[in-house]
Structure 1
Amino acid sequence: MIPKNQSAIDINALFRKRIGMQVENITFESLSNILEKTAENIPFENLCIIENRTSNITKESLIEKILVKNEGGLCYELNLILYFFLKENGFDAALIGGVIYNNDIKKYQKLGRTHVVILVTYKEQKYLIDTGFGGNLPLKPVPLTEESVSSKNGEFRVKRVNGEYGDYVFEMRLKHRDTDWKIGYAFDTKKSISDLSEINMIQKIIAEHKDSPFNKSPLITRLTGGGNLILTNNSFTQRTEGVVSKETIDSMKFKELLKQHFGM
């Protein structure tokens, strides 16, 4: 089972400190601000997998990794820690598995439901919340009504489908990057994640599967006020208001940039 009330005080205080938010009462209207601050302060990164130091995921291990040691994580870590925070603040939230779509080859990935996202129900309406999709974050709750929402990162919507991989599809049109809508992933609202063993299985697939995009080389990214930063083992890319600068780096520069821009 996914634990509910353990470490409530720790996660409340530490999560707010990690993202720089001191608001006492968290409401549905607060979520956009929370999502922006989370995207700008907690990086999407795969260093645990690359460095072969993954461990069993528990509520306590996530608090230690992300909120105490100030590391980041992949979707199943970032959205899980946010899920715990939202539950502690009284939200009706559930975890759902999604299947990522590869727009380059126009096919869904072979890894299965390895993208973990959150569904929040508010006033009888369901909303998708995702803080674990790299630079493709909506930064707002997205209603499951096909209505698009806009943020500084672009436009986003969720469409109802009758597909092989689920009953809804998340679509995006990123600011300064996309002219047409692109599929992000499909998900099935009838198949929620109810046990941490499912999260740990997802981590195992991401860490070991030959088709996993996250077990080949390091990737660290986070959003900024006007764009995003992307660090790999051989390059550092900065996007600011549509302007892209990219530099080639070595291992020493990698460590320097990792600390300077990501606090790791």
Structure 2
Amino acid sequence: MSELNDLFRKRIGFPENEVITFETLEIILEKSAKAIPFENLCIIDNKKREITTENLTNKILEKNEGGLCYELNSIFYLFLIENGFNAALARGVVYNHAAQSYLTLGRTHVTILITHNNEKYLIDTGFGGNLPLKPVPLNGEAVTSDNGEFRIKKVNSEHGDYILEMKLKHKDTEWKIGYAFDSRKPIYDISEFNEIQTVIAEHPESSFNKHPLITRLTDEGNVTLTNTSFTQWVDGLVTKEEIDTPRYKELLKQHFDIKQ
């Protein structure tokens, strides 16, 4: 077993010698979503590093930080490969519901595709609070997890050949678009995502270079922290607290075990 494999299992609390099968992937996905936060702190602090296996291992598995989609799905992809899965990465475009259109930053979302028994599935550990927590088949069949319902629709658009749709638990009553992605251009080299990191860090329309954002799923729902607010979803009930800098640092340590 590699260092990455051992460290990943330790980070999410999964036995180091247990064989991971397709059927146990949902356990891994749920543990990952609760242990590893989606966050942009390195972008905000101007501490971004080159996207390499070594740097991602150091950041996420040794320093116990989180990351954005291109980091979280890259490390999960590497973990899948280590455990014998037929996996590839893919790029996509997130849908902006406020503007009722796709983001104009290009294909800056990164997701994972795996093949199992000649069927293709999407896996995503880097979509904030919108994680499927189960492999989602590309054949259109919906899956249900603790986080809601998810399905994939075949499309032909400038953004890709499929879209992920979701109906989040306690939040959505209708299906809504998560993002479009392109399955026809599989990616196996994570260094390609240095380009995405640059766009996310520098583009004026990027939402991730304005203020800190950190979120993760919990047993009861999810928690989301910015430098001005702390939001908790607990069994479908939401509470929001306006905060100052000292409280931000306190909550960062309390809920995400990150010190600043």
Instruction: Identify the residue that residue 163 of structure 2 maps to in structure 1.
Output: 169
Q: TM-score, normalised to structure 2's length?
A: 0.97
Alignment partner of 2:87 out of 88, 93, 97: 93
CA RMSD of aligned residues (A): 0.8
**Letter matched to residue 79 of structure 2:** F
User: What displacement does 1:197 show?
Assistant: 3.1
1:84 counterpart SS class: helix
Moved more, 133-142 or 194-203: 194-203
Alignment of 1:26 with 2:20, yes or no, is: yes
For residues 111-140 of structure 1, what are the alpha-carbon distances to aligned partners after superposition, in whole Å with 9 as ceiling and x for unaligned? 111100000000000000000000000000
Tell me what 2:2 maps to. Answer: 9
Distance 2:80 2:201 in 1: 27
CA offset at residue 78 of structure 1? 0.3
Q: CA deviation at 1:163?
A: 1.4
Contact 2:163 2:178 in 1 (8 A): yes
1:3 matched residue in structure 2: none
The one-letter amino acid paired with 1:17 is K
Letter in 1 for 2:153: K
Q: Percent identity?
A: 65
Matches within 5 A, 1:100-179: 100-179=94-173
TM value normalised by structure 1: 0.96
Match of 1:201, SS state, is: helix
Q: How does 1:215-254 map to 2 (within 5 A)?
A: 215-254=209-248
Superposition deviation, residue 263 in structure 1: 1.0
After superposition, the C-alpha distances for 1:61-99 in whole angstroms (9 at most, x for unaligned) are: 000000000000000000000000000000000000010
The within-5 A match list for 1:180-191 is 180-191=174-185
2: CA distance between counterparts of 1:212 and 1:34? Answer: 30
Residues in 2 aligned to 1:246 and 1:239: alpha-carbon distance in whole angstroms: 9
Q: In structure 1, what is the Cα distance between the partners aligned to 2:113 and 2:3?
A: 23
State the 1:10 CA deviation. 0.6
Among 38, 60, 76, the alignment partner of 1:44 is: 38
* Cα distance in 2 between the residues matched to 1:213 and 1:110: 12
Aligned partners of 1:69 and 1:30: how far apart in 2? Answer: 26
Cα distance between partner residues in 2 of 1:18 and 1:197: 23
Please give the alpha-carbon distance, in whole angstroms, between the structure 2 residues aligned to 1:235 and 1:188. Answer: 35
Q: Which residue of 2 aligns with 1:57?
A: 51
Once the two structures are TM-superposed, the CA of residue 170 in structure 1 deviates from its matched residue by 0.3
Q: Equivalents in 1 of 2:105, 2:24: separation in Å?
A: 34
Letter in 2 for 1:247: E
CA contact (8 A) 2:69 2:125 kept: yes
Q: Distance in 1 between matches of 2:225 and 2:176?
A: 24
What amino acid does structure 2 have at the position aligned with 1:42? Answer: I
CA distance in 2, matches of 1:149, 1:59: 31
Q: SS in structure 2 opposite 1:155?
A: strand
- Structure 1 residue 164, shift from structure 2 partner: 1.6
- 2 CA distance for matches of 1:197 and 1:87? 16
Secondary structure (helix, strand or coil) at the match of 1:150 reads strand
CA distance in 1, matches of 2:92, 2:257: 29
Residues 203-245 of structure 1: per-residue CA shift (max 9 Å, x gap): 0011011111100000000000110000000110100111001
Residue 104 of structure 1, CA deviation = 1.4
Deviations 1:28-76 (A, max 9, x none): 0111000000000000000000000001111000000000000000000
Deviation, structure 1 residue 196: 3.0
Rounded to whole Å, the distance in 1 between the matches of 2:161 and 2:80 is 24
Q: Give the length in aligned residue pairs.
A: 257
